[in-house]
Amino acid sequence: MRFDAVHHACEQGYDWRYSVGFDVTEPVRSAIVMVPARAWSPAVTPEGKIRTGAYVADLTGLLTLADGWPEQMRVAARVEPLHPRHRKQASDIEKKRSQRFQATAHDLPGHHHQRHDVFHRNHAGVETVIKHEKGLGLGRFPFYAFAANQAWCLAAMLAADLLAHLRLLILDHHPELRKATPARLRERLLKAPAWLVRRARNRIIRLADDHPHATDLILAWAKIRALATPPP
């Protein structure tokens, strides 16, 4: 973002904060082990429900940070049950406690560790969107010319916008499809055996009788037609 845009936003009363992942080094692991049991708070979901076996705490007072870190920065810790897929990369202390250690650095106001943890974990949705955009073409640039790759990037971003609107407006009724990857949507919605038939100056799409997702396709198409039809 340009400096003048940031300056204008600050003049309008906006406040800039950060929350990023922090490396779980040996000093961080030692600090997590030193946290007394009474200092841990149960982690919660965005809906306010307690996450079973997950806890959060503040590590700032237990860590000696190197010079150069912002004075207002704080480090928070999160522990949760050690999943089998993370056991190979886990440290000895994590395996011994059957817990996975995580840490974040932030400058969020207040001491609401649970809310800070929820705020940070919501960033996972951003990572999912980036992963899906790579599946739409953003993960590769096929040209040698910079200008051609710019056009490719623009086309990929337009595809991402269309996908977002498809999920929001057309697939909102389907709990699986509205979160499906682009590859999954192509398989379910686009690779459908069908025939295009002309009758009475109308074009009709005929789906195979045994197509397992015919109902989803028909409902999605009906929503698209409803949105495209101008009001009387």
3-state secondary structure 46-68: CCCCEEEEEEEEECHHHCCCCCC
Residue 152's identity, in one-letter code, is W
- Name the burial class of residue 58, with classes exposed (0-12), middle (13-18) and buried (19+) by CB atoms within 10 angstroms of its CB: middle
* pLDDT average per 10 residues of sequence, the chain (232 residues): 53 76 90 92 86 90 80 89 88 92 87 82 74 84 92 91 87 82 81 78 78 80 83 72
Q: Judge whether 149 and 203 are in contact, CB under 8 Å.
A: no
Structure confidence at residue 1 (pLDDT): 43
List the Cα angle 142/189/199 in 5-degree steps: 115
Give the number of C-alpha atoms closer than 13 A to the C-alpha of residue 95, restricted to the C-beta side: 9
Claim: this prediction has a pTM higher than 0.75? no
Q: Could you give the residue ranges of the DSSP H alpha helices within the chain?
A: 3-11, 26-34, 92-97, 113-121, 124-133, 146-165, 182-185, 214-228
